[in-house]
Amino acid sequence: MSFLVVRLAVTHRIRDGARPGLAARRTLTKPLPRAGRPRHDSPAQPGSWLSYTAAVTGGEIMVDDPRKPEVRGLLERHLVFCLSETPPEHSFALDVDGLLDPKVTFVSFRDGDAVLGVAAIKELDAAHAELKSMHTAAEARGRGVGRALLGYLLDTARARGYRRVSLETGTTPGFAAARALYESAGFTPAGPFGGYPRTGDNTFYSLAL
């Protein structure tokens, strides 16, 4: 099994198909495969290089398997958090089975053996993708993990040729940091998409690429 890896350390050179989007300088890249192909068949390609200076002091982003015990543990914390903030009928966080959908690419941020964050991108159609399962471990917040994951997924979306990325998140104060992160990346409030209902518990954002 091979993994697509982005190392996040100051002035590292990366061989990969997409950058994390943090003060990066692109030299040569190859797009990541579209959703629908196996999610673990994306090794780095020789000659595809990336150079950047990142705000994160260490760690790596990789295409990962949500069934791994250490990953599942953080996903369970994510689901508990979402259900503590949003009524179950309006909570749309994906469980492990949902993240195994062939249209979903799931990634983790790791520092050694520790999983500090997770995120996913789901293809809705050839031009539109959705961000899912963005979560940073409480003990890792403030290190730029969420911003690195967001930048990585947006670069993946651009490399695949999507024209728009959308997301759904909660409206309570517990989601305030997430909303601020999305807004700082250029997302703007939008209407429901992809079959989501309009409720007081959910809010929607979109970014044209």
Q: What is the pLDDT along the chain (209 residues), one digit of tens a residue?
A: 434 444 443 323 323 334 333 333 222 233 444 544 333 333 333 322 222 234 555 789 999 999 999 999 999 989 888 888 888 889 898 899 999 999 999 999 999 989 999 999 999 999 999 999 999 998 898 889 999 999 999 999 999 999 999 999 999 999 999 999 999 999 999 999 999 999 999 999 999 99
Q: Determine contact, residues 70/127, Cβ cutoff 8 Å.
A: no
In the block, residue with structure tokens 């040729």: 161
**Residue 65 confidence (pLDDT):** 96
Tell me the sheet residues that pair with 14.
50
3-state SS track over 145-173: HHHHHHHHHHHHHHHHCCCEEEEEEECCH
Q: What are the residue ranges of helices labelled H in the chain?
A: 69-85, 96-99, 145-160, 176-184
Domains and CATH numbers, the chain: 5-208 (3.40.630.30)
Query: CA Rg, the chain, in Å?
Result: 16
Tokens of 112: 């050694």
Q: Say how far apart CA 62 and CA 113 lie, in whole Å.
A: 13
The two tokens of residue 51 are 């150079």
- Inter-CA distances, 129 with 136, 167, 192, Å: 21, 9, 14
Can you give the pLDDT at residue 55? Answer: 53
Distance CA 121, CA 111 (A): 21
Distance between CA atoms of 83 and 44, rounded to whole angstroms?
Answer: 37
What pLDDT does residue 43 have? 32
Q: 138: helix, coil or strand? A: helix
Residue 57: the pLDDT is: 56
